[in-house]
Structure formats: C-alpha cells, structure tokens
Structure 1
Amino acid sequence: MENLLTAKETDLLNFLLRQTSWITASRISIALSCSIRSVKNYISYINTDYPSLIVSSRDGYMIENRQLCSRLLNESDSVNFSDSENRTAYILQKLLLENKRTSLDELADELHVSMPTLDAEILKVRRELDIQYLSLKTKNGVAYIDGEEKNKKKMISHLIYEQTKNFFGDLSVLKKYFPDIPVNEIKKIITAVLHESRLFIDDFTMTNFVMHVCIIMSRQRPEQNSDTAEQIVINEKGRAVVAEMCRRIAEKYDYRFSEENITDLTFLLMTRLIPSNLENLTMEKLELQVGHEVNDLIKDIQRKIYSLFHLSLFNTEFLVRFSLHLKNLLVRARNNIELRNPQLEAIKENYPYVYEVSIAISQIISSTIRIKLTEDETAYIALHIGYLVEEQYSLANKLKAAFFCPQYYSMHLQLGKRIQDTFQDTLIIADIYSDETELQEERGYDFFISIMPFSTVPEKPLLVISKYFTTTDIASIANMIEKLKKDKQKQVMKNKLQFLFKEKFFYADAPFTDWKETLSSMAENLETEGFIDEEFIRKLFDREEYSSSAYGNIAMPHPLEKCALQTVISVVILPKGILWKNNRVNIIFLLAIRQEDRALFKDIFDFVTDIISDDQYLKIILQSKTYKEFIDNLISYM
C-alpha cells in the first residue's frame, strides 16, 4: 500500500509541479518556509516511497514523472479529518466563508466525528476567534459566528494566510476560497490600473490585495452597509488609484464598493506601492521623494551598521529601493498596519547572518520612532539586505584564475573573454597564456583553466575544458568556484578554531532544562574569566528579548554590539535538546566578539549555517563528549 503524503510533502510536490525548470533547495526552502535540510529530507522520503519521482542535478530539483505526481496530489486533495487541526480549520472556513448558520448535526456528519468530539473542536474554534474579538454561538442545534463585520474579515484573512502561506505569492490558492469570484480577472484589472499609474507591487502584496477585494465582494452585497473605516491619513494619489480599480471591477461585475471599502483598500495598499521607473530615480530626486526623516534615518543606519558589521550600505540601487521601503515601513508602523511575510521562518533559518543585520536595522528604526517593529517587517528588511550582502561578499571573494589556450588567430582571447563574462560576479581571469612555460604561479592564482592537460602538475588545481566552452564546461567551472570558496571559508575557520573555542567554555550534555538558565550560566562563566562584563550580559538578553537567536536546532546568542572584552565562543551540547522560545535547540554557540574582530562575525554565521544544513554532520557534533572530540569533529568537517 502506498504511503499517504504529509502536508509538507504535498506542499513540496505542488510547488515543484508548477516549475518548468530546475529549482534549488534554497529557493524551495524559502517558498515552503522551512530549512534546506528539511527540503532534502522531504525529497528523500518521497523518493523512498516513489523512486525517482523527484530528480536532482547540480542545478537543483525537478519532477520527473509529472503524471504520477498529479495523481498523488489528486488522491491527497481531500481533507484528513482525523487531524484536529484540520477539523478546526474546516469549521472556521465553513462558518466564515459560507457566511451562514450551520447545523451541528450536519457539521458532525461532515467531519465524521461524534458530538462530544465536535464540542471539543468548538472550544478550540472559540479560542481562535477570541483573537479577533469574535465568538462562536450555538442555539437550538445551530452554530454561527457573532461579532463585528470588520473583525470577521480580519479572521478570514488570517485563516487564508495561515492555510496558504507556503504559496501565498501564487494567486491560484485563492480560487478554492472564492470559487464564484473571477480572481484572475480582478488581478488583471488591478495590474492594468497600476501600470497606467506607473506603480508596482510585489507578488505577495498583489495576492494579499486581491484576497481582500474578494473578501469584500464575498461578504457584502451592494445593498448592505459597510463598516466605518478607521480615521487615518490617506494618501490621495493612492486612494485615486484604488478608486479606479474598484470602479472598473464594479462596472464589469455589477458590484458596488462603498466609500469605506475604498478607504480600507487604500489603507491596505498605500504602504506597498513603489514607482515602476526606479531606474530613473537619482539620489537627488530620491531625497525629495522620501523626505528628510527617511534620509536622516538612512544615514544613521549606514553609520551604525558599518560600525557593527563592517558592512557598507552605500550602493545606489540598494539605497533607492530601501529608502522607498523605509518610507512605507514608517507609515505602517505608525498606523499599526500589519504586514505578513510568508518567508519569515525560511529567512531566519537559512540566512541567519542577513537576519542578524536586519535585526540591528530594525532596532535602529525602533529606537528612532519609538515603536517596536514586528519580525515580519524585519524579514522584509532582510530581503533588501540579502541581495547587498551577497553582492559585496561575491566582489570581495572573487577567485583569481589564469587561462591557458594556444594561440589560433585570436581564439585564446575570445574564449578567455567568454569565460570572464560568464563568471564576472565570481571570477577574475587575471592572465591569459598561450604557452605553459609562461605561467607564473607566484601571481597568486586560485586555480588554472586550460583547454588541454599540463605536462607538469601545477601547485594549484587545474580544470581542463573544451575549446567550445559548452554548458558542461560552464558547470565544471561553477563547481570549481563553489568548491574553492567553501574550502577558503573552512580554512579561515580552521585557522581560528583554537582562537575561537576554549576547553573551559565547552559543556557536553549539560543538565540544563531552561534556555534562560543556560544562557545565564554560560555568560556568568565568561564574566568570571574576564571575557565579558555586566554590560555585555545586559545587551545579550536585550537582543534575545527583541528576537530569538535560535535558528533551527542551533542557537547563537550574542549582543548586537561587538562589545566583548576578549573574543571567544562558548559551546553547550544538549543531545536531548531544550526549548528555546519556539525552537528545540541541541547546540548553543554563545558568541562573544570584540569590536576589532567583528569581521569574523559573518564567517562564523556562514560556518554554523553549513552545520545546520548537514544532518549527518550535526549528528556527529552532537556525539562529542569532550572538548577534544568536539574540535576533532569540527576539523573533520573541514
């Protein structure tokens, strides 16, 4: 008998089935809001039951048998009511989206449960509804939801988001919730008005906006009155754009949007609109558009982030996009506008260094406007920072190669240029030689590329490619670059191991059960030995209060400032794990970094991220009983 797919496995197959080319584990992890390691595990489990359903290559993953995949998804499409969570979601969906009173007997029959079980589920539903100031009432064997209409709309929005957040950028997920509303046509109208107004919104915002339009249309008929909108300052241009969208939708589908509806939708959209002609915005025009407050805040962020992370935020393209984002962010924060980010957990787990930089930026903003930003807002900041960090890291870590190719007219120069153009972000072709005897190894090359073998073995790696520079050659060079970069990073960490870790701050299978107790004990030991002071400990817990430092099953607590008296990493290994806020953690790295050593911060985070993504290696680390075993296990990974 074939095994049933889990919810995550179903999400994975749905996502892969929509792809038309190879897709990496990293991109899948962001789409599914899980770790890269989890993605690889899901694929392994699926292929165990259905061999070669998902195939892999250096470019990522792809569905091999699309017909089988579709059949499996169709078979798993019905809701599994043996799961209490699914039953609760079904009750909420039925009462809210169908917007009518429902017989308790019919509900029990549909869920295939007894009345006592249904009573237990209703208690859970009531707790869910309390969040939005709604209540589930029963009278004469009938159930219905009571409360203000605006709160019902918020609850519908929350329900749909929670059930679809892995694919929230995909508009098709809305169709099953609003089968009688032409979702795609509404999107076309919205897109057309935005285009005419020279405005742009991202896919997540588009799905969210279309969802709210559908909620309004599904719950309110033209003759009904709408809720009174909250009194807020509305951007008049934004309101005019939304009013035109509503006018066209109303005209085509015989529906009337009230003034309050238009105001609500403007409120939702106005903090996500950006000009579509970003490339034409100069820094002078940008400063006029975003205003003095944003300009001053950007300068403060640039100065403090450089001091904290030695990271430059002066890239013009980044500044244009981030300044516009920051302007909208301030409006959202001051008007208590909630912005959900379906990529939050994936960003935290897969890109911890980028998220750390983003937390620092969030704290700078929060201290300026005296409003704490949500983790969802921090994750949106991380999307901007991530591109910049990777770009700077690539530029600073370009590899240097020499290319060997015999002269035939100018073929050696043309081929060298093609290689350079293809790998311009990661590789410098420093020299092109036509004779092996001309090669100068002392010029610091990382590797050699040649169209023929060398007569002698060079000290650095040699990669032989064809003179036609095929896709296979491109893949070989890409793999060599990736391998050498990882080798460099590991060598940096290997050289620093004895410097970063000390036996007296290593604890294996410690008897800790509470994360605060654990962190306090680790910090006190460092303070006693003169590595940190009381100010460090205060800032350590301030950082933890702002956002958890747990990434998957590893925690990396540290203050935002690099304020240790001496640089060291304290380690606790917990094979059984302890609960660290919402994560069960098995390894804790307490990072005490001096300001002078702040450049190490990214290397440490990248190294630990590699550990997180490798299940087998993580198991080996957890088996370390002594400091020597721990260091030996770390070195074995390198």
Structure 2
Amino acid sequence: MKVNKKQRELLDILSEKNDEWVNSKDLAEYFNCSTRTIRNYVSTINSELSHVIESSNIGYKLNKNALRKDQQNLSESKLKLNDRKSRIFLEMLKNSSSGIDLFELSEKLFISESTLKNDIQELKQSLPSQTLRITIKGDLVKLEGSEHSKRKYMVDLLYDEGNSVYDELKSSIEQMIEDISLDEIKNIIRSTLSNLNIFINQYSLNNIVLHFAISMERIRQGYILTENDQDILKENLDKQELTLTNEITKGLAEKYNVHFPESEIYKLALQFVGLYDKSLIENNNEQQVEAYVDSTMLSVLRDVLRRAEDIYLIDFEDNDFINKLAIHLQGLFYRSQFQKFNRNSNLLDIKISYPIIYDISVYIASLIQEKIDITFNEDEISFIALHIGSLLEKEKAIDKNYIRVLLIANDYHGIRDQITKKIKNRLGSSVQILSVSDYNDNQFFHYDLLVTTDRKVATTYEGSVFIKPFLTDRDLIKIEKRVDVKKKQHQKDLIDKLIKRFFSESLYFNQIDPSGLMVSDIIKHMNQMMIAEGYVDENFYYSVQRREKMSPTSFPSGIAVPHSVELDALKSGISILTLQEPIIWSDQEIKVVALVAINKKESQKFNKFFELFIEIVSESYNVEQLRKSENCNEFIIKLKMMADELIDKNILI
C-alpha cells in the first residue's frame, strides 16, 4: 500500500470524528497546506484503498465499513527488528508451557520463516543466559526459565525498544493483553492514589501500569509468581503500600474478573515503595520535607551539591530544586532496600542529548553512594538528570528571558507538532515549548504558561490558555498576549530575587554626615563592613582604588558605584550609603554610594542585574527618591518599583 505518513494521519483524524463531516479548510489548516493538497491526499487514499473516504460540499468523512475490508493492508507494514523481537518474546511467553509452532508464529508476525529464525537467534543472544533460554525442537520453539525472570526480561525488552516512549510500550503490551485496557488500569491506579493524596509522576505511573497489566495477563494464563519471599515482603512492606495494592487489585478484579493471589499482591506492592504525599511537592514546606527526608540524607545532599558546585560552577542553591531532589532520593533509598528501581523510557535520550548533565548526575550519585547505603542504576541516575535539567532550564529561562510553555494536546498523530510549529512561528525564540498529551507530572516540568486543547485541564489549572485543536489567529493572539504578560512578570520576579540576594540590611548605611570625610574614607568604611560580613577580603579595597584611578565611577545623577577591577569578591553584594549632604566625587556631586562586590561564579547573573540597576540610577530623580529612604526595606521597595516600571515600558534586561 502506497499511503504515506500524512495520508495515514488524515485517516486517523477522520476516524476520531466518528462519522462526522470535517471541513476541508480545517484539515488544510491542520496539515499546514492548501485544500487542493487535501483533495490529492483523499484521491490517493481512495485509489489505494476501497474508496474509504466520502466527500461532499461540507467536507470529508471516513467510511468505516470500507476501511474494515482493507484493515489487513494497514497492519502489514514491516516491523522493526527490536519490535519483532518483543513480539516474538510475547508470543513465546503466552505459550510458555507448550511452546509455539514456527510456521504459526511467522504468520502472526507477517514475516517469512527464515526472517523469524534470524530474529530468534538475535533474541537468544540478548537473553540473560543464566535465567532464560530458547529451545527449538523440530518446528516447536519454547521459552524456558522462571516466571519472575520472564516478566523481568519482558519489561527490560520493552523499555529497550530503541528507547521507546510510553505510547510504543503501550502498543506492544496491548498486543499481548488484548482485552485489558491500559487506560482503565491507569485510571483505577490514579484514582486510588488521588483519593489517598499520594503523588506519582508520569514515569512511575506508566511503569506501574505496565507491571499490573503483565501480572493480570499472566494470572489469566495460569502463570503465578512463587511465594518464596512473601514472608519477607509482608514483614518489610509499609502498611500504606499494601493498602494501595489491595484497593487497586480489588477494583481490577471486579472489572476483569481476575483473582490476585497474595504472592502477586506483595510483588505489586513493591511498585509503590517510596511514594509520598502530594503536599510535599505542592506546598514545598521545609518542615514537611524535613519530616519526610532523613536528616542525614538532606545533609549529605547539600554537602554533595556544594562539592559539585566547585567542580561544575553551577549554582545549586535553589530550595525548590534541593527539596524535590531530596524527596526523590529518600524515595529511592526506600526502593533500593528492595532492589526496586523506577524505569525511565527517556534514559538513552538523556545520555546522548545531555551528556554533561548526565555526567554531573553520575558524579552526584557516586558521592551520595559513598556516604549512604543506597543503590543507583542508570535509570535512577537519569532521574537526577531530570531534576538538574529542570533547574538549568529554569535558570536558562531566567537568563535568556524565555517563557516556558507547557502544551497539553490530544495527540491526533502529529497535531501537537502542528500546534507547536505555529506557536514557534508566531513567537519565535521568546518561548520554549514542552509538548505532552497528559498532565500528571509537575515534578520535572518547569513551565510558565499552560496551553491546552483539553477544556477540563484548562478549567482545572488557573491561568491556563484554552485553544482549539485547529489553531486559529485568535488563539495565537491570546497566547501572545499571555506570553507578554508572563514575560514581564518573569522579569519582575527575577529582579525581586536578585535584589533580595544582593542587598542586605547589614550593608545599608543611611543619612551619613559627610563632614570631614574624603572619598577614600567612605570607601574604606564600607569596605570594612563588607569584610566583616564575609563578602570581600583585605585586598578588595586596593582593587577598588585602582579602578577609581583608572576611571571614576561617579554619575551626574548623584550616585557613585565603586567596584573592583577583578571579580575577586568572596560573594556578590552591594553596600548602600546615603549622605545627608552631597560630596564632590571627581567633579560630581554625589548623594548615594553603592559599593559593588562581584564574585566570579555569580558574574553572569550579577551583570544582567547590574545593567538594569545602572539604568535606574542614571536618572537623578530616582537617585533622590532612593536617598530619601528611611531604611533598607524602604530602599528595596522603591528600587523594585522603579525596576517594574522599566519592565512595563519594555526596557528589558
């Protein structure tokens, strides 16, 4: 069949509409093409298949009866080798007791016997030889080994299908379980967790659904896990984990008439080890975090991050990042006691696309492992990488003033890509778009604006932008306006953060009488206070003096901003001194002095803020208003208001 990818997408869209007519203009907008191209797509499809698309003056719709006759043609495309390997394994797993005939298996997979035999040899080489093996006697092929080993390898194989995403894993599993709905399993698990206010990220949920589906199908086929370690699990598993599993298996048993033996329930309960209350993530409450995370874990993590900062020159001092990573590591500690690890379907992508982030994660994991009895595999290391990547993206968005858009859209086989492309074309580099089909993971996704085609999601999450699947100009204008508002708020939040970081009550000196003081005396006094507060060392004063000799730092607006030639401060900060009367500083009347200390590691962030600060104090009116401040807090409030005004006027940093 010669139907291409675009034409298949057209079939899928019409299939979703359930006998409804779809306007050609809407289809053209979706495919970003002309209505003539849509007519060509329809003509090609109908010539290859038995006139499966009907047309009229109101558009197109799918003739499902005609399509059903050609369904076999749609399913006969060649499977990739890794996908074929998983299918072969699943078929042998179904027939573990009796085996399966080679000819029957080749017919099921629509491949020749010679291709099948070659694939089996490939599969043999990838099997763990100590626990599983494939035997061929005559025309009968059989998989031998323990039930536990078979299930474990099946999960490994599915996750290794060219780094499959969940939709591909779902497709492979559905071929095995046939009439069991993965979406139904997911809904039952998610509902149970939600009722108990337990947080779960999408990666963990997908993994758990996978295990439940496999367990159910194997039970129906009569293959039950042994009870060798049941007593150990019963003794060590938490009550909450067993309660969860019992609730879920009860719901699944009623839905699918499957009886879960105790041995299966205890094994499935392992999937919930390390989960925690939603409030830990949502509230980011220090006391709650400290109550959940062992004090040793938190102490070790902070120490490790400090060591990583020294090597990689990354600022990890972000409480939200530290708390979420600590919570994740505490959950991993509990899971590792059972040698139970979460799988990450994006592992390979992370290792290849973000090697530095992954290397940092390996380093952090190795340091933690030295001090705490905890085990990291590659998947768990990649979850650390997700946390670090989220932090760096957050900083990147701040530094480059990107707005991070989370797009949640039903995936009509490419519709998310079309929406993403249109938004990018309209807004360019001012946005970064993360596109997903399901919102259940706020742990790893840092975003500023949520855009969705799902009305339920839009009404659930305040501030969301609801759009149509076929994006209109009105939708784009709505997104553009909201992005502009978010962009300005983003900058205001950044300024607020930097002002709090670089200004301190201990470095604020108000309404000093300048009588008898020279410029060098003022600098020396401010420098001594910065030494006492740990911002600079004894050499800083001389470096500042060298800078002043090269070019005075006084401004006609009434402020002087002395600073060092080098970025040699121990930490960055600004000391403020206001004067009762102006003094002469290199021919300028000065009323305010801002002594600036810059640490090399913080120079990038500081310099961006410093540009805006100079923009503000270059106006004499602003300097005079700042000088009249009664205290440091009033000074900071005024400075923030001045910064906000510049941002509102689109004078951006």
Alignment TM-score, normalising by the size of structure 2: 0.49
> Does residue 307 of the first structure (1) align with residue 304 of the second (2)?
no
Q: Does 1:264 align with 2:280?
A: no
Instruction: Look up the equivalent residue of 1:150 and give its one-letter code.
Output: H
Report if the CA contact (8 A) 1:355-1:379 is conserved: yes
Report the secondary structure of 2:131's partner residue.
coil
Aligned AA (2:208): F
- What does the per-residue CA deviation read over 1:359-402, in whole Å, with 9 as the maximum and x for residues that have no partner? 33222223223666323222211211122222234434559xxx
Are 1:186 and 2:185 counterparts? yes
Q: Distance in 1 between matches of 2:477 and 2:139?
A: 71
Distance 1:70 1:218, change over 3 A: farther
Match of 1:130 among 117, 128, 131: 128
Other-structure match for 2:252: 249
Partner AA of 1:355 in structure 2: Y
RMSD: 4.9
Secondary structure, counterpart of 1:314 in structure 2: coil
Contact 1:309 1:601 in 2 (8 A): no
Verify: 1:280 aligned to 2:280, yes or no. no
1:79 CA displacement: 4.5
Match of 1:521 in 2: none
Alignment of 1:93-108 (within 5 A): 93-97=90-94, 99=96, 101-108=99-106
Distance 2:359 2:323 in 1: 22
SS of the aligned residue for 1:237 comes to: helix
The CA deviation string for residues 562-618 of structure 1, in whole angstroms up to 9 with x for no partner, is: xxxxxxxxxxxxxxxxxxxxxxxxxxxxxxxxxx9878999xxxxxxxxxxxxxxxx
Q: Distance in 1 between matches of 2:377 and 2:292?
A: 25
Equivalent position SS for 2:398: helix
**Structure 2 residue 387 is the aligned partner of structure 1 residue 389:** no
Letter in structure 2 aligned against 1:199: I
CA change 1:251–1:470 in 2 (3 A) is closer
Alpha-carbon distance between aligned partners in 2 of 1:325 and 1:147, rounded to the nearest angstrom: 34
Distance 1:116 1:286, change over 3 A: closer
Task: In structure 2, give the amino acid aligned to 1:186.
Answer: I
Shift of 1:104: 2.4
1:16 Cα shift?
A: 11
Task: Indicate if the aligned counterparts of 2:103 and 2:139 stay in contact, CA closer than 8 A.
Answer: yes
Tell whether 2:218 aligns with 1:219.
Answer: yes
- The whole-number CA distance in structure 2 between the counterparts of 1:346 and 1:68 is 36
Inter-CA distance 390–119: structure 2 relative to 1 (3 Å threshold)? closer
Task: Check conservation: 2:219, 2:258, Cα contact below 8 A.
Answer: no
Q: In the TM superposition, what is the alpha-carbon distance from 1:192 to its structure 2 partner? A: 1.6
1:325 and 2:322 are equivalent in the alignment: no
- What CA deviation, in whole Å up to 9, does each residue of 1:164-222 have, x standing for no partner? 85331688534333212133222222112111111021222212211111111111249
CA distance in 2, matches of 1:229, 1:308: 47
Q: 2:158 aligns with which of 160, 165, 181?
A: 160
1:215–1:333: structure 2 CA closer, same or farther, 3 Å change rule?
same
Give yes or no for contact 1:103–1:142 (8 Å, CA) kept in 2. Answer: yes
Cα distance in 1 for partners of 2:603, 2:43 equals 45
* Alignment match, 2:524: none
Shift of 1:297: 1.8
Whole-angstrom distance in 1 between the partners of 2:44 and 2:267: 39
Q: Distance in 2 between matches of 1:166 and 1:76?
A: 22
1:340 matched residue in structure 2: 343
Match of 2:194 in 1: 195
**Structure 1 pair 243–17 and aligned structure 2 pair: CA distance change class (3 A):** farther
What is the TM-score of this pair, normalised by structure 1? 0.50
CA distance in 2, matches of 1:113, 1:237: 48
The partner residue of 1:90 within 80, 87, 90 is: 87
Would you say the 8 A contact 2:147–2:223 is kept in 1? Answer: no
Q: Any conservation in 1 of the 2:158–2:169 contact (CA below 8 Å)?
A: no
Q: Distance in 1 between matches of 2:604 and 2:117?
A: 53
Contact map agreement 1:222 1:256 (CA 8 A) in 2: no
Paired amino acid for 1:360 = Y
Q: Pick closer, same or farther for the CA change 1:476–1:136 going to 2, 3 Å.
A: closer
Specify whether residues 355 and 130 from structure 1 end up closer, same or farther in structure 2 by C-alpha distance, changes over 3 A only: closer
1:536-579 per-residue CA deviation (whole Å, 9 max, x = no partner) reads: xxxxxxxxxxxxxxxxxxxxxxxxxxxxxxxxxxxxxxxxxxxx
> For residues 374-413 of structure 1, what are the structure 2 equivalents within 5 Å?
374-397=377-400
Structure with greater Cα Rg = 2
SS in 1 for 2:293: helix
- What is the deviation of 1:84? 5.0
Q: Does 1:148 align with 2:146?
A: yes
Distance 2:272 2:317 in 1: 29
Contact 2:273–2:334 (8 Å) recurs in 1:
no
Cα distance in 1 for partners of 2:308, 2:106 equals 57
Rounded Cα–Cα distance in structure 1 between residues aligned with 2:307 and 2:123? 46
Partner of 1:355: 358
For 1:325, give the aligned amino acid. Answer: H
* 1:245/1:473 CA distance change after superposition, 3 Å: closer
> Does 1 or 2 have the higher relative contact order (CA < 8 Å, sep 6+)?
1
CA distance in 1, matches of 2:361, 2:94: 37
Question: What is the alpha-carbon distance in structure 1 between the residues aligned to residue 209 and residue 31 of structure 2?
Answer: 33
Counterpart Cα distance in 2 of 1:15 and 1:88:
27
> What is the aligned length?
383
Q: Partners of 1:252 and 1:336 in 2: how far apart?
A: 31
Gaps of 5+ in 2: 18-27, 49-69, 403-426, 432-475, 489-598, 606-653
Query: What is the identity percentage for the equivalent residue pairs of Structure 1 and Structure 2?
Result: 23
**CA deviations over 1:432-459 (Å, ceiling 9, x no partner):** xxxxxxxxxxxxxxxxxxxxxxxxxxxx
Within 1, Cα distance between the matches of 2:210 and 2:294? 32
1:275 offset after TM fit, Å?
A: 2.8
Q: C-alpha offsets along residues 317-352 of structure 1, whole Å, 9 cap, x if unaligned? A: 223321110101223344332432111232334444
Q: Distance in 2 between matches of 1:288 and 1:282?
A: 10
Deviations 1:94-118 (A, max 9, x none): 1114555211233345556665654
Change over 3 Å in CA distance of 1:349–1:19 after alignment to 2? farther
Distance 1:70 1:360, change over 3 A: farther
**Does the Cα contact within 8 Å between 1:170 and 1:207 map onto a contact in 2?**
no
CA contact 1:169–1:203 (8 Å) conserved in 2:
no
Supply the distance in 1 between the matched residues of 2:210 and 2:334 (Cα, whole angstroms): 22
Indicate if the aligned counterparts of 1:366 and 1:372 stay in contact, CA closer than 8 A: yes
Are 1:294 and 2:297 matched, yes or no?
yes
Higher mean C-alpha displacement, 89-98 vs 257-266: 89-98
Whether the 8 Å contact between 1:274 and 1:324 is mirrored in structure 2 is: no
**Does the Cα contact within 8 Å between 1:103 and 1:143 map onto a contact in 2?**
yes
Which residue identity does 1:301 align to in structure 2?
V
Assess if the C-alpha contact under 8 Å between 2:342 and 2:379 holds in 1.
yes
Shift of 1:12: 11
| 1:311, distance to aligned residue in structure 2 (A) | 2.6
Tell whether the 8 Å contact from 2:246 to 2:265 is kept in structure 1 after alignment: yes
Tell me the CA shift for residue 277 of structure 1.
5.5
The structural deviation recorded for 1:148 is: 0.8
SS of the equivalent of 1:137 reads strand
For 1:69-84, what aligned pairs fall within 5 Å after superposition? 77-80=75-78
Q: Which amino acid is the alignment partner of residue 320 of structure 2?
A: E
**CA distance 1:305–1:101, shift in 2 (3 Å):** same
For the residue of structure 1 that corresponds to 2:142, the secondary structure is strand
| CA distances 1:386-426 after superposition (whole Å, capped 9, x unpaired) | 22222234434559xxxxxxxxxxxxxxxxxxxxxxx9x98
Q: Give the AA of the match of 1:95.
A: M
Unpaired stretches in structure 1, ≥5 consecutive residues: 21-50, 57-62, 400-422, 428-468, 482-595, 603-638
